[in-house]
Amino acid sequence: MTVCPAIRAARVSARGSTRVILSTLIVSTLLWAPGAYLAFGGPKRPQVPAFWGPIYPIWNIALDGIPVGRPAFDRTSVYVGLRDGRLAAVSLTTGGVLWSTNQGVTAPPAALEGLVLAVKGATLIGLDSANGDVRWQQALGAPSVLAPTVGPNWIAVITTKPELLLLQPTDGRLLWRQALAAPARALPTGDTDRIFIGLTNGQAMALSASNGAAQWTRKVGGEPLVLTLNRDRVFVGTSDDFLCALVTGSGKQKWRWRTGGDVGGAVAADDTRVYFASLDNSLVALGRAGGDLKWEQRLPSRPVGGPVLIGDTLILATVAKELKTFAIDRGTLTETVRLPGRPLHQPHLVPWTGPVPPRAIVLTAGGQLLAMGPVVEPPVGPLDPMPGNVMLLPEALAPIEPPLVRMLYPPGKLLLPETLPPAAIRKIPTRRP
């Protein structure tokens, strides 16, 4: 039979439409399937257990003084400088005060393994972290108003001269000093090869850790306020409301993102995304490679510092005396916890160590130091025998069990009267009026 060309064309068009509809249904099903969001471009979750939350208070102490700034941390303790010149060490596990010494501190402290660094005007003091005893002192030549920065094998201090000094951690010996073209407001950062600094003239620089020679200089626009080193990138938050991503080796700018306000603190990053908070009350996630917007979450109050990443959760402090947690997939708010005062810094996370669960440490402007985190129940174990009581062994309890009997009416099964045994059927006489 000969088919009209118009009919043949209509059939082909119908078959094509059917294929398009089926393809659309298949793709939609795949995208909405569990885990498809991650498979089709979603963020790669870090290989960290998502054990965070819900948050409960673990310990809370009130320090006898007002903090001079944010605290310093090592693996076991938190160190707080007070405005009256004292420096106190507090246990991260119990919240107990380990020691306190009056060294006349004038800037926030820093810490590394076995050593606490205290600034007293134009002098840097190295203290033993176990007892607070002085190990060494080093004259800086000019006062420092910023906390020292601790690197893999060095200590960096920026003075008001302005100069950058690099010191040996073991004895405080001066390795080199480098004059700066302008003062710095952001804390420096670095690795074994380079030290990165930001100057008030709008420049970000990389200096050699071995001799202080400049390796590259990049004009980033406004004054660098925050420097965050993350693998092969340095993220710079500037005073003209930009976040820049620079390559650590060359200073090349990979991308630049316009923020709604100053970047509030350090940037958090994983394999695919960068997370930061800005002072226009925003929490933002950008693509790590190209700086494209992934999501933005509006905040009811200003952030304090930047977000902290743990597993698939971001933790952020705000001036509203709150600690908030967000899911990294879409920035959804998951929990809000009230604090006893305005926090001075972004939360410090203590990882899970042995029987001690993870916790977030926060210091408030009024001098309250507190730890919060998930509460882990102890594992259930066998009961120990009670003294003076007789406990029967399982094999002795066996004869005490009642004998098994046949069930007459299996639950959930409807039995017809004719299938029941005669003894189970009781005839009820009908009453006649």
**Cα gap 292→396, rounded to integer Å:** 70
Sign of the dihedral through C-alpha 213, 227, 369, 326: negative
Q: In what order do the strands lie in the sheet with 110-112?
A: 110-112, 115-120, 123-128, 134-139
CA distance 36 to 334: 22
Q: Are 381 and 389 in contact (CB under 8 A)?
A: no
- In three-state secondary structure terms, 314 is strand
Asked if 108 and 68 touch (Cβ cutoff 8 Å), the reply is: yes
| pLDDT digit string, tens, across residues 290-336 | 999 999 999 999 999 999 998 899 999 999 999 999 999 999 999 99
> Is residue 189 within 8 Å of residue 234, measured between CB atoms?
yes
Residues 370 and 361: beta-carbon distance below 8 Å: yes
Residues with Cβ < 8 Å from 353, sequence gap 6 or more?
Answer: 75
Spell out the per-residue pLDDT of the chain, length 433, in tens.
555 554 455 454 555 555 545 555 544 544 444 444 444 444 444 444 444 668 889 999 999 999 999 999 999 999 999 999 999 999 999 999 999 999 999 999 999 989 999 999 999 999 999 999 999 999 999 999 999 999 999 999 999 999 999 999 999 999 999 999 999 999 999 999 999 999 999 999 999 999 999 999 999 999 999 999 999 999 999 999 999 999 999 999 999 999 999 999 999 999 999 999 999 999 999 999 999 999 999 999 999 999 999 889 999 999 999 999 999 999 999 999 999 999 999 999 988 776 677 899 999 999 999 999 887 655 455 555 555 555 545 554 455 455 544 444 455 554 455 555 554 444 445 454 4
- DSSP assignment letter at 405: -
Closest CA to 322 of 301, 297, 308, 307: 301
Enumerate residues 6+ apart whose C-beta is below 8 A from 123: 137, 138, 139, 140
Two tokens, residue 379: 């594992």
226 CA to centre of own chain: 17
Q: What's the distance, Cα to Cα, between the start and end of the chain in Å?
A: 83
Cα 337–342–346 angle (5° rounding)? 75
CA distance 28 to 23: 9
User: Given this model, what pLDDT does residue 48 score?
Assistant: 41
Q: Give the predicted TM-score (pTM) of the model.
A: 0.76
